[in-house]
A and B are shown apart, each in its own frame.
Chain A
């Protein structure tokens, strides 16, 4: 390429010189350039300093970029606990804590499904009604028709799966906005529940039955809670450690061993504190064990499997996902089916808590609490950002407010207003962090 030919205008001439040298130097020199590129550190590279300064630096950078993670909700939770403990000394007791833990499982399960839907950037308004249907379906099948409890349980959960899949199908294949589909679902499934409950309106569950046991069973042996804490801690350490070994072997950046140890110790402190609290009361609640297992499994599915990656991709850009060969419709339908399934599971826990299926199940503020739990936990309403652990944090906030106010004898109007205020604060944080992340190029 001669100089005459490259005579251009404006910005053109600037980079032509680069290409010219490239052409002259040819392939051999280019390999040199390539190897140099690896060793020479680009000043923009994100290099973390060693030691404590590095962590503080990274933390500051994340904070600046609006990458707050779970920080706001954890702080909020501590503040709420602080206030209620000051108001009423009964709040921070083992008994209250244990009761709250069991009470939050129903809402939390449904919120896990909502996190899936929110990751797509969609909404499911029908989960409350679907949860009611599941409870009613179980009660009708097992109590009225005397069906085997396990079979009734499975069928009740499948009801939710089918309901969710129907919403997903209408949304994904026919293209009706998810908001409208699930709003219709909200009404339809509520009517369906009232229909199958019949004229009585309430069906009491066998208090020694399978579903009732879900929330009433406690592993009273102290070894259970401590054992679980040990399993969690050791499991975390081994996973992190082996992952790190693999990363080192492959030559990609890995965490220093110190960091893993610090994280494991923090987790151990948390796990054993919770275990001690449970053991001071009735022991380790079965409901909490199931909820934790669900959180671990769903978190794993979302972050470590190809399916989870697809869900996140759809929340980021539908067009990009489609071009990457992802079956957009199938993923959408499956996510709504997941939401329906967890709604049904949650509905069974709610029915278990009151040992009956009644007409009020899944109605009123229940749906709002579920969505609020997912959002308060830190799942973005804009899609593509969130974890199922958010559901745990969010539901802890909501249940703490409910129990705290109930201890004070404050009526539900005030409770609604406070929960509404917390939700508003959360979505404001979500919107603001999103803005900050946009300006910091991290949205």
Chain B
């Protein structure tokens, strides 16, 4: 694992009017590393991701890219650096086929005409290298299942050869099988040397694929944990801000009932 992080946030703050959404947030992601970003609703996960993706420019702090300070003011800046974001609500066109969606906005052209053959060939190649299996690359997105759509959306982000991939709740609406497909894909991204930021509410997903867990609470860092050496309870207490919380109480209660 390389020493310099691909992306480092140092003391990042963001304010929306009277609301301090982020305060002095630190975050580091290295190549070939999956960092899970967790936190309760309103903890600032989405805001943090949007600052990295260039949707909301930061108010204070520094963003470092490969050790150099950079400005990310527009989504375009982030894309040029090599940051690809896969949003929760997918951003695919239902009426266009898989190939068309993969290349939407960056179609390959040959003398001004769409080079469908080359796009289809490369799409198949890409999906094969990522071991993504879908019925056909020439059917509309509408025909695909939720998991298949999610992997297509992720594959789409891979076309620009990004260094950092941000996945915003990629498994939120998926079934067991599809979740496994997406998690497999996340691991393949890591093997290919991409840095990955994974936002998730699902502790099982986080434990399954992440290397590190960065916890946000009320817009601040509330601990960065190595997944291998941390229990789920510790992470949950960091998320909720207390060791005594609804989750532990419930756990204690069910354990007690089981003991009776």
Contacts and interface: CB of A to CB of B under 8 A. Distances in A.
Interface stretch (A282-290, A306-314, A348-356): A306-314
A316 B96 contact: yes
B56 to A, nearest CB: 15
Contacts of B140: 442
Interface stretch (A17-25, A107-115, A159-167, A194-202): A17-25
Contact of B135 (A44, A305, A313): A44
A409 interface: no
Interface in A1-50: 1, 5-6, 8-16, 18-19, 22-23, 27, 30, 33-34, 37-38, 42, 44-46
Contacts of B128: 34, 37-38
A320 B112 CA distance: 23
A304 interface: yes
Interface string B174-189: 0010011001100110
A309 B114 contact: yes
Given A19-B184, A19-B187, A309 B94 contact: no
Given A16-B208, A326-B105, A251 B133 contact: no
Contacts of B203: 8, 12
A323 B91 contact: yes
A19 B129 CA distance: 18
A313 B117 contact: no
Contact of A30 (B139, B143, B188): B188
A102 B189 CA distance: 59
Contacts of A253: 138
A315 interface: yes
A11 B114 contact: no
B201 interface: no
Nearest to B180: A15
B41 interface: no
A39 to B, nearest CB: 11
B104 interface: yes
Contacts of A323: 75, 87, 91
Contact of A252 (B120, B135, B204, B209): B120
Contact of B95 (A304, A315, A319, A440): A315
B161 interface: no
B76 to A, nearest CB: 8
A23 B114 contact: no
Nearest to A22: B187
B207 A6 contact: yes
Contacts of A319: 89, 91
A250 B124 CA distance: 11
A243 B120 CA distance: 13
Contacts of B227: 5
A26 to B, nearest CB: 9
A252 B107 contact: no
B204 A16 contact: yes
Contacts of A263: none
A46 B134 CA distance: 9
B93 A15 contact: no
Chain B CB count within 10 A is highest, among A9, A15, A315, A326, for A15
A22 B187 CA distance: 9
Interface residues of A, number: 58
A95 B92 CA distance: 50
B94 A443 contact: yes
A33 B184 CA distance: 12
B144 interface: yes
B106 A320 contact: no
Interface string A410-443: 0000000000000000000000000001101111
B139 A46 contact: yes
Given A19-B184, A312-B96, A326-B105, A5 B112 contact: no
B228 A5 contact: yes
Interface string A232-260: 00000000000100110011110000000
B113 interface: yes
A94 B121 CA distance: 48
Interface string B35-46: 000000000000
Interface in B103-138: 104-107, 109, 112-114, 116-118, 120-121, 124, 128-129, 131, 133, 135-136, 138
B170 interface: no
A15 B114 contact: no
B135 A42 contact: yes
A11 B228 contact: no
Contacts of A324: 91, 104-106
A321 interface: yes
Interface in B191-249: 191, 202-205, 207-209, 227-228, 231-232
Interface of A: 1, 5-6, 8-16, 18-19, 22-23, 27, 30, 33-34, 37-38, 42, 44-46, 243, 246-247, 250-253, 304-306, 309, 312-313, 315-317, 319-321, 323-326, 383-385, 437-438, 440-443
Given A12-B204, A306-B114, A309-B100, 4 more contacts: A19-B209, A250-B117, A316-B95, A317-B93
Interchain residue pairs A-B with the least CB separation, the first 5:
A12-B204, A316-B93, A324-B105, A15-B180, A384-B95
Interface of B: 75-76, 87, 89-96, 100, 104-107, 109, 112-114, 116-118, 120-121, 124, 128-129, 131, 133, 135-136, 138-140, 142-144, 176, 179-180, 183-184, 187-188, 191, 202-205, 207-209, 227-228, 231-232
